[in-house]
Amino acid sequence: MTRPSPQALPGLKLYNTNRQVLALLAEFFCLRTNDVAELMRGHTPTDSDKRSIRQTLSVLLAAGVVSRLPYLDLDRVTGGVHYAWGLSDKGVEFCKGLWPLCKTFDEHSQRTLDHELEISSFHMALKRFAAKHHLTLYWQQADLKCTVNPDAMFALIDPAKPEDKGTLYYFLEIERAKIGHYQNGEPSIMRKLGKYHAYYGSDACQKEWGTFRQFRVIVVQRTDERRRNLLKELNQQYNHRMFWLVTEEAYKFGIGGEIFATPRDYESRSYSFLSP
């Protein structure tokens, strides 16, 4: 289905580059300058690519349709201030026709910026994977407040298969903190994943999403040690293959590989998005 085009904004000429950048920020919520350049060019951006995108973002900032926040890029030791970019309130109104579920970056907390950028990083890697394997990716990062309240919901759709067999649904949870925030001896991550365990196959899931009641939960963690510790905990309490655990390093190196482990059989095998 063709999405309607946004209306012209006074003072902003809608060159193709401007449209493309706004569409990316609507799709991904927040991106670093280099992320925008990579998505626009389809390859690792050159210095010239980065300069061009910085100029475009500056034009959009002056027009009031994007917002930015400074952040500490731990991968860079030189250069000036680095920014994360997203749509402003004005930009959301402007882009609703392009992306109905886009959300504003205005007044976003800098405290959660690393978390949001990690979601975007996973989304970027997943989008490249889907394109490579001729899969359709559905991604939703807004209007998610339901029984489980994930960081994102997505589906991978194989157009070559019947809809009931060719579509798999996933919830994404980015867990960057150590296990903690105990209540009655139970850490917050286990309380959160326990809700997913109860939600799986439930009437509540069917009612809230309308299209599915079975799913997988992708849990992204910073280190393999944290992943193994959580797998052991889940093995004791929620021993189910619905939980797919992976590290940040593993998915960034090769999201299409057999990099996911489940509590049921993590000591003997691993899974990929292409696993039967």
Tokens representing residue 181 in the block: 């925030």
Cα–Cα dist 14/88, whole Å: 17
Label residue 144 exposed, middle or buried (CB < 10 Å: 0-12, 13-18, 19+).
Answer: middle
Residues 6+ apart with CB under 8 A from 100: none
**pTM exceeds cut of 0.95:** no
- Contact between 84 and 68 under an 8 Å Cβ cutoff? The reply is yes
Q: What is the dihedral of CA 76, 79, 81, 87, to 10 degrees?
A: -70
Question: In 3-state terms, the chain is what percent helix, strand and coil (to 5)?
Answer: 40, 20, 40
Tokens representing residue 182 in the block: 């105990």
Q: What is the pLDDT along the chain (276 residues), one digit of tens a residue?
A: 233 344 444 445 555 888 899 999 999 999 999 999 999 988 889 999 999 999 999 999 999 999 999 987 765 555 567 899 999 999 999 888 878 889 999 989 988 999 999 999 999 999 999 999 999 999 999 999 899 999 999 999 999 988 778 999 999 999 976 665 666 557 789 999 999 999 999 999 999 999 999 999 999 999 999 999 999 999 999 999 999 999 999 999 999 999 999 999 999 999 999 998
Strands 82-87, 31-32: parallel, antiparallel or unpaired by DSSP?
antiparallel
